Chain A
């Protein structure tokens, strides 16, 4: 195969593919090589098959935000001419809230969502009004941040100033406690954090407002045929323009000329050369495995130490013998809340008490349940339940202890599911569990964090790549863009804008 390219991407995750497809669309002559160790493109935006169970499982939720008329993602996909090729499902509901003593649905339109919350929490009406005003201003400004930096979105500077001063340093937990005194209401609002891999004590409030704004006001859609469909379409675009998506190939090292500018990569299929290399893998992994020693990298590593990985997930994939809607799972998405009001996630360093960690992550944190059958009946009767987790209390994959722990997790999550949705009992045909170790294995993401970096209150680690000492090296992933496909596409667009600079 040809060994010289204009640019090489290390990793074919959704961010690389989004970058590549936009790049070749804008510059049809650019020759791009995208390399991934996995045998399918998409990174975490993929699916896996279990033919014996007649099942195809999507790895992520494949819920796309920003798919309304004014949505950032819709605009980018339209520019690429992809909206027609994607078969989208739009849901009426944001999610169904499941408490042990009551269940109610929350709408996917922000106006109706407010009405639903007012109906359930009438005593919080003034607090809710103020919260939605805050969301409308600061959530919107955060959402259009990339546009703002490119001069396409006019911002009120006083609002921006206020937000950076007063909201950036608050956690979601602190902000919601200051604003609402009903713990159930706080849990409903904080539940959205699971989309970006953070509990309310982890996430920065300003960033969180932007996520809520994106998912509630800019139009949600699910991709039929799983997120793999989107990844495949993007990979096809790259190949149609003369690029190459080289799969099943491990990148071992990035090569640099006199160590000052990049000139290629060493892989399991030999060397490939280019003067620009875009790293899609986790930067923690990249900095420890892909670069030779270089004096300038010490500073990068110091800055990187401040970039926290997001929470990981433990996920239960299952099939049922009847459509899940007939078994009490009426919504595309349900959030299942525990009875314990004041649980705390054990800190990342405290994996000393395994039982406490299991109790907290599996039984007491919010569980998200997706009914894929409602989104795409042709895919089969498939459900998927997620809880945020931490790799710290998981032993290494090949040990007996790991197997036992996986078994315990499966039982705990199933039991919780049966408690919330008793009609599922006796109808589950096939079950499989993935742990934070599974994500680590498939993506090389440190801490098993499928989402990328945590956007907490300390944002200094997010600029670890500024002034990178080897010119031509770029970082491109949810670790710099922020978790979610929409952020990945937005950041990729910004990188394409910089191609000619």
Chain B
């Protein structure tokens, strides 16, 4: 399953929003995630893709929207799988 599809499904589980709104430019602000939602997303990604998302990636704003997150996972996935 590709990264984007997997995360979209996870977010649809987490938040009551319409699938058509889940575009890569959708920011985490707009998604209105709370602190435990972030924890859940971080763990989900770690478990599924073996990519660690340090909490600072969200808090410093390095990952601002869904597109950033997809790219970050894809860029780190190969390395994670090889490890």
Contacts and interface: CB of A to CB of B under 8 A. Distances in A.
Interface centre among B38, B55, B64 (most CB of A within 10 A): B55
B11 to A, nearest CB: 13
A51 interface: no
Contacts of A463: 33-35, 38, 58-59
B52 to A, nearest CB: 6
Interface stretch (A144-152, A178-186, A246-254): A144-152
B9 interface: no
Nearest to A148: B43
A164 B42 CA distance: 14
Nearest to B14: A164
Given A459-B36, A467-B64, A501 B56 contact: yes
Interface string A459-501: 1101101111001000000000000000000000010001001
A468 B39 contact: no
Nearest to A160: B40
Interface residues of B, number: 25
B55 A149 contact: yes
Interface in B36-66: 36-40, 42-44, 46-47, 52, 54-56, 58-61, 64
B70 interface: no
Interface centre among A460, A463, A498 (most CB of B within 10 A): A463
Interface in A147-173: 148-149, 151, 155, 157, 160-161, 164, 168
Given A151-B52, A463-B35, A161 B40 contact: yes
A145 B36 CA distance: 10
A149 B39 contact: yes
B54 A498 contact: yes
Contacts of B58: 463, 466
Given A168-B36, A459-B36, A460-B34, A466 B43 contact: no
A376 interface: no
Contact of B32 (A145, A460, A468): A460
A196 to B, nearest CB: 16
A458 interface: yes
A299 B32 CA distance: 13
Given A148-B39, A149-B42, A151-B46, A462 B34 contact: yes
Interface string B16-34: 0000000000001100111
Contact of B47 (A145, A157, A498, A501): A157
B59 A465 contact: yes
Contact of B61 (A151, A164, A467): A467
A160 B44 CA distance: 10
B35 A459 contact: yes
Contacts of A161: 40
Nearest to A161: B40
A466 B28 contact: yes
Contacts of B46: 151
B74 to A, nearest CB: 20
A299 B28 CA distance: 13
Interface string A429-454: 00000000000000000000000000
Interface centre among A149, A151, A164, A459 (most CB of B within 10 A): A149
Contacts of A164: 36-37, 40
Contacts of B34: 458-460, 462-463
A145 B39 contact: yes
Interface string A372-405: 0000000000000000000000000000000000
B54 to A, nearest CB: 6
Interface of B: 28-29, 32-40, 42-44, 46-47, 52, 54-56, 58-61, 64
* In the A-B complex, the 7 residue pairs with the closest CB atoms: A467-B61, A459-B34, A462-B35, A460-B34, A498-B56, A459-B35, A466-B59
